[in-house]
Amino acid sequence: MRTREGGRIVDEAAVIARVRAGEPEAYAELVRAHTGSALRAAAALGAGADAEDVVQLAFVKAYCALGRFKDGARFRPWLLAIVANEARNTVRSAARRRTLVGREAALATAESPGPSSGDPMTATLETERRAALFTALEKLSEEHRLVVTYRFLLEMDESETAQALGWPRGTVKSRLNRALRKLGRLLPDFRPREGGDERG
């Protein structure tokens, strides 16, 4: 599987083969390629200010488990499953529950800067829309929150979501359908933006 890192293509299988062959410094290419999406996942799943620690630990655990990584599998969903587990552990062990404002701030700082309209009103409306979405996501069960986060906030396709969550594709479809119906009741104006056509 190839992925784009800083404008260039990284051949993940080749990098993993190099690491397994005794070239551990090659792992940095995978870290650079996937840090952004890992930070967004950790923040969206509630790690808040601990998102960087969660991601760092997830990369260490992924490195240690590379011997068990299946040849030909996609690295990103596998890594994000580890990130999700670490984020869950962090949230559960936290002395106090993260606030919505903290989660939103962490997600905003983890996202790479995109094109800005320069219009303060548009920026304010987008911030309010995201805050409303996060409020609604808090009201969903964990499995529904996970499937919506992976499919729409992280823009993973159905097969990547199934791999990352360890669910059959049919389960992803049914849980996503139920989650979107619930979100539709909580947010009548909510229209998920797909990350493109299904790739697998």
Domain boundary among 99, 127, 161: 99
Does 89 fall in a domain?
Answer: yes
Domain identity same for 18 and 59: yes
Domain identity same for 89 and 132: no
Domain identity same for 58 and 142: no
Assess whether pLDDT exceeds 70 at residue 5.
no
Assess whether pLDDT exceeds 50 at residue 199.
no
SS3 content of the chain, % helix, strand, coil (to 5): 70, 5, 30
Domain identity same for 80 and 133: no
Domain identity same for 88 and 156: no
User: What's the number of domains the chain is made of?
Assistant: 2
Given a contact cutoff of 8 angstroms between Cβ atoms, the answer to whether 42 and 91 are in contact is no
What's the rounded Cα separation, in Å, for the pair 61 and 49?
A: 20
* pLDDT for position 39: 94
Domain boundary among 39, 69, 99: 99
- Segments forming the whole domain that contains residue 167: 118-200
pLDDT tens digit string along 139-196? 888 899 889 888 888 888 999 999 988 899 999 999 999 999 998 888 877 666 554 4
Instruction: Read off the tokens for 88.
Output: 């869950």
Assess whether pLDDT exceeds 50 at residue 90.
yes
Does 107 fall in a domain?
Answer: no
Least confident of 4-13, 46-55, 97-106: 97-106
88: pLDDT confidence band, cut at 50, 70 and 90? confident
Contacts of 192 (CB under 8 A, 6+ apart): 148, 151, 152, 180
**Residue % of the chain over a pLDDT of 70:** 76
pLDDT tens digit string along 32-65? 999 999 999 998 888 888 999 999 999 999 999 9
CATH number at residue 138: 1.10.10.10
CATH number at residue 5: 1.10.1740.10
Does 111 fall in a domain?
Answer: no
Q: Which residue has the higher pLDDT, 132 or 36?
A: 36
Domain identity same for 79 and 134: no
Select from 39, 41, 5 the least CA-distant residue to 153: 41
Average pLDDT, the chain: 81
Q: What is the rounded (10 degree) CA torsion for 50, 111, 194, 11?
A: -90
Does 112 fall in a domain?
Answer: no
* pLDDT for position 196: 41
Domain identity same for 30 and 81: yes
Helix spans in 21-119 (H): 27-44, 51-64, 75-93, 100-110
Domain identity same for 92 and 4: yes
Domain boundary among 46, 64, 99: 99
Domain identity same for 147 and 61: no
Does 109 fall in a domain?
Answer: no
What's the rounded Cα separation, in Å, for the pair 68 and 97?
A: 34
Domain identity same for 86 and 129: no
Domain identity same for 122 and 77: no
Q: Which residues sit opposite 5 in a β-bridge?
A: 8
* pLDDT for position 47: 86
Assess whether pLDDT exceeds 50 at residue 200.
no
Mean pLDDT, residues 89-108 taken together: 60
Q: How far is CA 133 from the centre of its chain?
A: 16
Does 188 fall in a domain?
Answer: yes
* pLDDT for position 155: 83
* pLDDT for position 184: 86
* pLDDT for position 91: 80
Helix 27-44 crosses helix 100-110 at what angle (to 10 degrees)? 150
Least confident of 62-66, 90-94, 107-111, 186-190: 107-111
